[in-house]
Structure 1
């Protein structure tokens, strides 16, 4: 049986997230969470996975409301926007090619 310490070692063993294997969804989920937590701003990355990406703040210009551009975000929102991209990237990299092709456009 794999211990938490073993999973922690596996989750940070290299620069690629663990690959999803058939019939190992539950253990993959746990290992992916550990992998994400082991990244810079890991809690924010995991927050994206659990609660969805940042809803970009808006700004009003000349009576028109638009989402803020990246350079207009607060430091915290910019970090969260970066973590949103990292979360997506981590998940997609952990998928086998046949699954990746099914979900990459969604």
Structure 2
């Protein structure tokens, strides 16, 4: 189990690991500020969310970083915690505890 007295150490390791990944400077803010708010566009008078292929290059990288952030945190959790259905939370909630 991830015990309370070990949390700060775990959090520091996760943050350093994220910063050391490609686009690490975008992964950590993905957790701190929340994931990309998926942009929408107007098509024929109706508004819809953009498909992945329609994202700008920066938006596509941010979408990648959002998924990468969640993946890194989930891989860094002990099995007992992951098994508690924690995979349904967003990465931001996991690091704020």
Name the CA distance, whole Å, in 2 between partners of 1:100 and 1:38: 23
Alpha-carbon deviations, 1:47-100, whole Å to 9, x = none?
101000001111111222111001000000000000000000001111111211
Could you tell me the TM-score, scaled by structure 1's length? Answer: 0.77
Tell me, yes or no, if the aligned pair for 2:2 and 2:81 is still in contact at 8 Å.
no
Q: Larger radius of gyration, structure 1 or 2?
A: 1
Give the alignment of 1:61-100 within 5 angstroms. Answer: 61-100=43-82
Stretches (4+) displaced over 6 A: none
Could you tell me the TM-score, scaled by structure 2's length? Answer: 0.83
Structure with bigger helix share is 2
Pairwise CA distance, 1:21 = 3.8
Unaligned runs of 5+ in 1: 1-19
Give the alignment of 1:49-68 within 5 angstroms. Answer: 49-68=31-50
Unaligned runs of 5+ in 2: 90-97
Superposition CA RMSD, Å: 1.3
Give the alignment of 1:1-106 within 5 angstroms. Answer: 21-22=2-3, 23-102=5-84, 103-106=86-89
